[in-house]
Chains A and B, each alone.
Chain A
Amino acid sequence: MSRTITIEPVTRIEGHARITLQLGEDGRLEDARFHLTQFRGFEKFCEGRPYREMPALTARTCGICPVSHIIASNKACDHLLAVDIPPTGEKLRRIMNLAQIVQSHALSFFHLSSPDLLLGWDSDPATRNIFGVMRQNPELARDGIRLRQIGQTIIETLGGKKIHPTWVVPGGVSEPLSAEKRASMLKLLPEGLEIAKRTYAFYKTLAPKFKDEAAHFGTQPTLFLSLVTPQGNLEHYDGVLRVKDAQGRILEDQVPPEEYGHLIGEAVEDFSYMKFPYYKPQGYPQGIYRVGPLARLNNVQACGTPYADVALAEFHMLQDSGPIVSSFHYHYARLVEIIYGLEMIERLLKDPAILDTRVRARARSNRYEGIGVSEAPRGTLMHHYRIDDDGLITWLNLVIATGHNNLAMNQSIREVAEAYVDGNAIEEGMLNRVEAVIRCYDPCLSCASHAFGQMPLAIELRDAAGRVVDRLTR
């Protein structure tokens, strides 16, 4: 009898989701799916609102990455205004975006994934959590908290509050930076960088233990999409779009973000509220691509800061040649980006022009359509608005970082389940690996699905007719 295993909710991710594994008569995997089961509908209820409300409204998509939405949304509004924002305004926005990446990556690595990495996928689930990590390696746990605090403090210093700051506005930022605030942020950075380097060094000693997981956690040959600088280096705020394939060939380059629609199509499936973006030239569902730290590092030659460039070179050596294909190495890439983020924040803060008081361009809307693209912690984030003569939103589309990875996540689940799940003798450690491959992507499902509410983790086993024959919840 064939069966379906359902994992619900998937734990230690942001938001709520379910995984189903369909097993055949012989207990072998036939299909695997990642479901977002709840709906929020920001694209619909924002219609009719003034475009200037969009940064505040869309930021409410998420309590984890509101800054990312604020940045992309304000960039879309800049486009509507048809203005170039003052250079210092842009630099200040960059600092906030990088601080968001630092704190978000810290949460992902230290709190969500470290229980698996430190305690093992097969360890007792009752203690395979942050408390288990605290017992085994309290310094690592304290470092994670401190690093997150540093990122959050920079956001709060700039924006006035940690969550949903309103300092970034269409045309720039609302207030220039004071010398006192600059000094207070600069004071935090040496400690942050020390923690980041220490953690990176520690992870390098740990990574060789995960050869088996690295060989099975999402090793599909996909494309990689990200922003890069015009020179092809790491970029999180602006730049141009690049698409690279698994062999390292650049398929698209120097694509203005406003032309994302030429690269990306969006499909829907009836089993999930998350959209299924795909690379248009290859069609659906063949056009699978990944975004986020792994894709960003695969797509660039250099980060542009000293220590991150050393780490990037080591990252590229994880494989003999070509882009790093295993999604397991998202963890590694996140640590490289934390280092980069802190180094770059320091560089931007030390720029004498950062105290310039001209930080905002003022204009009314001068276009009917605006597109803003930035790199969120989890990948490329796109806000696309259309407005009428009164500046009211008539249509909007949000292409969320986690959504880009949807096809890849589904494929990764299949790969891990094929490697580890024996339908004739299901063990918790097998299922935890299925969850863990999702954690590699650090999905933010509140953003991607616009999900609302709470679901527990469950794994369902279904027969060939789709009937639930067994269910494991926690």
Chain B
Amino acid sequence: MDKTLIIGYGSPIRGDDAIGPLAVERLVERGLPAGVEAIARHVLTAELVTELAGRERAIFLDAAAGGEPGTVQVHRLEPDVAAHSTMAHFLDPSELLAWCRQLYGQAPEAYLITATGACFDYAHCQLSPVAEAALERLLEQVARLWGY
């Protein structure tokens, strides 16, 4: 099992929300370093906890809404049992980490890198120009984190 897992998530048909899955696509195209695995998901679902178990580091990539479009931010994540969602089909990354710690003894060191989107209208894997520019900056942050 690779020690670092990157999970890019978001809807591919809601404009800039696709930035997470597209970032993963870009990373895989350019080649991942040894020890790094990247997967794309529509939403974070319960079974992803088994993917996190046993990893040293997890990097979540997501679009953000609100704030200045194009802004890229890196957040350190901690397991959070209070983050549990009322919805059945998607989870918060901090909730996933809490599941992981509770069920498998430990959770990986984790980060969330977000890029603020400008437009979330229907568009299949098509980013706005500002999100497209932010995607490159997001990938730079990913490279900084996996190179630890």
Contact = CB atoms under 8 A, between A and B. Distances in A.
Check if A and B associate.
yes
Interface of A: 9, 11-14, 60, 63-64, 107, 111-112, 129-131, 134-135, 138, 141-142, 144-146, 148-149, 152, 162-164, 454, 456-457
B28 interface: no
What 10 A-B pairs are tightest by C-beta distance, nearest first? A149-B47, A14-B88, A134-B102, A163-B42, A11-B86, A63-B89, A64-B89, A131-B81, A148-B47, A142-B103
B103 A107 contact: no
Contact of B88 (A60, A64, A131, A138): A64
24 contacts: A9-B86, A14-B88, A63-B90, A64-B89, A111-B46, A130-B84, A130-B99, A131-B98, A131-B102, A134-B99, A134-B102, A134-B103, A138-B103, A142-B103, A144-B46, A145-B46, A145-B50, A148-B45, A148-B46, A149-B47, A149-B50, A162-B42, A162-B45, A164-B42
Contacts of A141: 102-103
A62 to B, nearest CB: 8
Nearest to A13: B88
B34 interface: no
Contacts of A162: 42, 45
A63 B49 CA distance: 18
B46 A112 contact: no
Q: Is the interface of B mostly helix, strand, loop or mixed?
A: loop
A64 B50 CA distance: 19
B125 interface: no
Contacts of B13: 60
B88 A112 contact: yes
Interface in B74-119: 81, 84, 86-90, 98-99, 102-103
A426 B90 CA distance: 32
B43 interface: yes
B88 to A, nearest CB: 4
Given A129-B84, A152-B45, A152-B47, A145 B103 contact: yes
B86 to A, nearest CB: 5
Contacts of A14: 87-89
Given A134-B99, A145-B47, A149-B47, 20 more contacts: A12-B86, A13-B88, A14-B87, A14-B88, A14-B89, A63-B43, A111-B88, A112-B88, A129-B84, A134-B103, A141-B103, A144-B46, A145-B50, A145-B103, A148-B45, A148-B46, A152-B45, A162-B42, A163-B42, A163-B43
